[in-house]
Each structure stands twice: as structure tokens, then as C-alpha cells.
Structure 1
Amino acid sequence: MSRILGFCFLLTTPALLFANTGVAFVHGTGKQTDARNDYWTREMVDSVRQGLPNSSNYTVINCDFEQFMWDSAAAGCLADQLLSFINNRGITDLVVITHSNGGNVMRWILSNPTFDSRYPQIISKIRWVNALAASSLGTPLADAATNGNVFEIAVGWLLGYASDAVKQQQVSWMAHYNANNLYGTNGRPGLPVGFYNVVGSDVESSPFDGDSYCGGYTLNLGLEVTQEWLDNCSDGFLNCSSQAGAGQVWFYDTQLSNEPLSHNQSRRKCFGLDVVLRNDL
């Protein structure tokens, strides 16, 4: 309800009534060079951007999110690409759609406006951030991969082993960052723009269920395995509590449809998620 009321308030302002709206897709952990095809898929991006008044006002970020969130290759690269998009397209109303660890990089920018002169310029143009399965409180899987125990082999395909970004997403490390460097979590100052979470609550990987193939059956099967080390409410990579740990919950997956969203499916055109994000624009 607060999200709806907030947008109704924005609609009463002349700036938004005549806004030039754009959308930015911000990927999660990994070093991306073609995130449109390799991370989000072209079908997902093209479906969502149809909700824009001008469907060409979109950008897909490609940065090195193997680094710590504040690194020049991570937040610096993100800031550079967002500001270039804003300036080149004349964007005055920006919706950011991010996934997984991309939410942490976005929160770094939103929480530290004095860290980089580009940050305030970007923040002033953002309407809100839609965070899909954000790793706001970290994940026990990052602890397992970093500590190199027997579970490392099982999660290496998912996390990329012990990169700085993986170390960053250890539960205790994220607790430190949330308490000292980031806004939006319980007991901390609020973020300067809305940070709305879509929470994935389960993984389905039955070979006899067609829904298990959305986003790739093999990936969902792997997430079914890693889910054994997480809470009952999890998307195979993150506990629901982590996904809901910063900002506000927009909705849980099963409130969207009868199907849960695995961590992989929450960045793909699965179960009407693309339509919800499209209509949000």
C-alpha cells in the first residue's frame, strides 16, 4: 500500500507528469559483458521494456561484480553506466531492476552519496529500485564457498568460488556492512529512494513438472541441492529473510502466481514476473 500511495504522490508532481522514464537492468554476482543475453535473457528484457512510454529507453549494465561492492569495477562501473544512460537519453525518471548481489552494489551507491560525485546525480533521477532476490543479509552458501569446506564444490558453480563478491556476501560480513556502511536494514537510516523486494520462497525441480524447466532445468536442479543448506523459505541461494532484509517487501513469489521463483527464475521470464515488472514502469 505504501508503494501505491508513494507513486500516487509522485504522479501529482509536474516533474513526473512530464517525465522521460527509463529502466536499467543491474545484474548480480559475476563479470558480465553481455548481461542482456547471458544473465537476463533477451526475452525478459524485451518484455519488461515494453512498459516504457519509449521502449528504447533502457540499458543493461555490464560490470565486474566479482569485486567488493565499492570497487571501481563494481559501483564505479555501475555509476558510470547509469549516469551515461541518464545523460545520453535525457532520463528524468529511472526505475532500476536489480538481482541478487546487484542489490548490494545499488545500496552502496544509495547509502554513500558523498563517496563519489556521480552518486547524487544518479540518486536524484531514481524513482525506485525493484530488487529481485537481493542478497541484503548475505547467504550461508557464501560462507561455505569461502571457507572451502566439502560444500565448496556444490556451490562453486553458483557463486564463482571465493571472489571478493562472494566473501562480501558471507552472513557476518554483510551484518558488518549493514551496520556500518549501508542503509535500509532494521535499525539503520532509510534509503533515499524506495527499495522494493521480490522474494523467492522455494525451488521446484521435478522432471515431470513443466514449470521446473523455466529458466533452465539444470540450474533449478542445482538450486534444489543447495537449498538443503538453507531455511525452508529460500530460493536455493538466499533465505527469504535475506531477500527481505533491506527496504520493503513488494511481494512474495506465490502472491504473483501459484509457482515459486527459484534464484535463477527471478531473473527470467517466468510465471508472469516480466509482466508485473513491465506494468510497474
Structure 2
Amino acid sequence: MKKLIALVICFFIYQSAYAVTGVAFVHGTGQQTDALNDYWKSDFVNSVRQGLPNQSMYTVINCDFNQYMWHAQAAGCLADQLSNFITSKNIDDLVVITHSNGGNMMRWIMSNPTWDSRYPTIISAIRWVNALAPSSAGTPLANAVMNGNGFEQSVGWLLGFESDAVRMQQTSWMANYNSQWLYGTSDRPALPKPFYSVVGTDVETAIWDADSYCGGYTENLGLEITQAWLDSCSDGFLNCSSQQAAGYTWFKDKDRTKGKEPLSHNQSRRKCFDLDVILRNDI
């Protein structure tokens, strides 16, 4: 038994010594051409990639995620950029960090390996996906937008306006996709690689509290308003139940963040409350 344990330890040491590790940042809903600065912010990405053995081994995806997840401009674009990154850098240990609808894009690829010839290469290279506030079961806000309720201006910067991606993230639509096309939810096959969710549980916007300004006070205030359409456990955009619907719950914000601060949907893609350090150390 001791020899077997020693062999297993040696195997993993060998693997880690010779693996080429990379990290990919996959944005959420929206059409991005400079997601590094417009979606994630460079201070967040630069902090996280410090966990890499070679800090140059990272990529920031720029695609049109206003489309349905299977669309050529959505998952097709994502597959193109990920496969190019993997092959050009010889990546065989890929950590994917997604936010919001980006989790659905990655689940589409991992759930449908025969859809595109590039998918198997991507799946094989993935170590795991760290999904920040994934919209795995959709959001009532998408229902409201598609029904023409009058708060769209307050979340247009975050959600968009009646795009195919917003239509797709209606709760009933996501229930259908989860039951037929996507893996990882209850009573469905497991995803081929681990999918770990970070769950945002609340929004804080006290004007006297400096923590409320992390990531932008105006954005957090908009999410405080939209919580009226959501459960008490939500990040202002997604119910906790949606964020936890697929894969495994890695942690709820207050369990790991500095000062036990909650992460609004905006803050879960920002350098707030040591989220970047947690992700860096995980690499």
C-alpha cells in the first residue's frame, strides 16, 4: 500500500513538473472586443495570472455572447480562441475562469463534444472551470426584460436588451436546455471536467461603507434595485439557486472573502475582497 501511495505521489509530481498550465478568462453576456479592460479590468486579470508558473500563459476571450450559446459567434468563437491558445502554447493544463453566461458557454462545449471538431481538444486540456456567479438556471430578470417590464435601463449595462442571449437565460428556457442539451445539473450526466461555482449572495450599497464602492458604486446600486425581482439570496442579477444549479459549489462569497463580504454580480468579476487572490492560489 505504501508503495502504491508513493507511486501515485510521484505520478502527480511528474505531471505538475511537466504540465504547461494556462488560464483563460471567459466573459459573460455581451459582445466584447476588449474584455480585458471593458469586462474584467486589467488589475483583476494581472493579479490572478500571478498564480501561473509562466505568467504569459493566459488569454482573455473576446466573442459575441449576445448570441445563443451554440452560435458560431458565441461558442464557435470561444472554441476558436481556446483551441488556438491551447495549440499555440502547448497548453495541457487549462484553468478556465468564467463569469455569468460564460459558464453556459463552457457547459455547452463540455456537454456537446461531437458538435465541433475543436471541442474534444479543449475538453482534454481543461483541468477545471471556475465559474464566477454562473447563470446555470437563468434569471427572472431575463424573464422581465423579455416581457417588457420597465427596469431595463437599470440593468442594460449588465444584461442587454432582448438579445438572443437574454432570451436564452429566461428561467424556463434554461430549464429546457438543462434537461436536454447541457450536462452538470440535477438528474443529468456529469460534465467531463469539474465545474466549480463561486456564489454571490447579496449586494451592499451603504454610502458610508467603502466596500460598497468596490467595482463601482453605481453598478452595485443598480443591482441593489434589481434584487426586488430576486430571492433574498442573490447577487442582484442571479438567485443563488441558479448559481448553484450546475456542477459543484466551490464556496459562497462570505465563506472565503476578506471581511466575509458579499460579492454582487458586478464585484464577482473584479478585484474585490481578495477574490483575485483566491483564484490565483487555486491555479
Among 261, 275, 278, the residue aligned to 2:277: 275
Distance 1:11 1:226 in 2: 50
How far residue 10 of structure 1 moved from its aligned partner, in angstroms, is: 11
Map of 1:104-119 to 2, 5 A cutoff?
104-119=104-119
- SS of the equivalent of 2:271 reads coil
Map of 1:69-218 to 2, 5 A cutoff?
69-218=69-218
How far residue 228 of structure 1 moved from its aligned partner, in angstroms, is: 1.2
Distance 1:75 1:64 in 2: 9
1:48 paired with 2:48, answer yes
How far residue 256 of structure 1 moved from its aligned partner, in angstroms, is: 1.2
How far residue 82 of structure 1 moved from its aligned partner, in angstroms, is: 0.3
How far residue 88 of structure 1 moved from its aligned partner, in angstroms, is: 1.0
Distance 1:11 1:227 in 2: 48
How far residue 18 of structure 1 moved from its aligned partner, in angstroms, is: 1.3
How far residue 9 of structure 1 moved from its aligned partner, in angstroms, is: 8.1
How far residue 11 of structure 1 moved from its aligned partner, in angstroms, is: 6.6
Distance 1:16 1:82 in 2: 21
Shift in alpha-carbon separation, 1:204–1:11, aligned structure 2, 3 A = farther
How far residue 147 of structure 1 moved from its aligned partner, in angstroms, is: 1.1
Instruction: Tell me the alpha carbon deviations over residues 83-123 of structure 1, each in whole angstroms, 9 at most, x when there is no partner.
Output: 10011111110000000000000000000000000000000
| Contact 1:129/1:195 (8 A) holds in 2 | yes
Runs (4+) off by over 6 Å: 8-11
- SS of the equivalent of 2:22 reads strand
Between structure 1 and structure 2, the one with the greater Rg is 2
How far residue 150 of structure 1 moved from its aligned partner, in angstroms, is: 2.6
RMSD of the TM alignment (CA)? 1.4
> What letter corresponds to residue 270 of structure 1 in structure 2?
C
- SS of the equivalent of 1:238 reads coil
The two structures have a TM-score, normalised by structure 1, of 0.95
Corresponding residue for residue 245 of structure 2: 245
Q: 5+ residue gaps in structure 2?
A: 1-7
> What letter corresponds to residue 46 of structure 1 in structure 2?
N
| Contact 2:138/2:238 (8 A) holds in 1 | yes
Shift in alpha-carbon separation, 1:215–1:61, aligned structure 2, 3 A = same
Shift in alpha-carbon separation, 1:191–1:13, aligned structure 2, 3 A = farther
Instruction: Tell me the alpha carbon deviations over residues 172-196 of structure 1, each in whole angstroms, 9 at most, x when there is no partner.
Output: 0000000000000000000000000
> What letter corresponds to residue 91 of structure 2 in structure 1?
I
Percentage of identical aligned residues: 69
> What letter corresponds to residue 274 of structure 2 in structure 1?
G
Corresponding residue for residue 236 of structure 2: 236
- SS of the equivalent of 1:12 reads helix
Corresponding residue for residue 60 of structure 2: 60
Distance 1:261 1:10 in 2: 39
Map of 1:8-23 to 2, 5 A cutoff?
12=12, 14-23=14-23
Corresponding residue for residue 262 of structure 1: 264
> What letter corresponds to residue 268 of structure 1 in structure 2?
R
Distance 2:232 2:269 in 1: 21
Distance 1:13 1:190 in 2: 27
Q: 5+ residue gaps in structure 1?
A: 1-7
Aligned length: 274
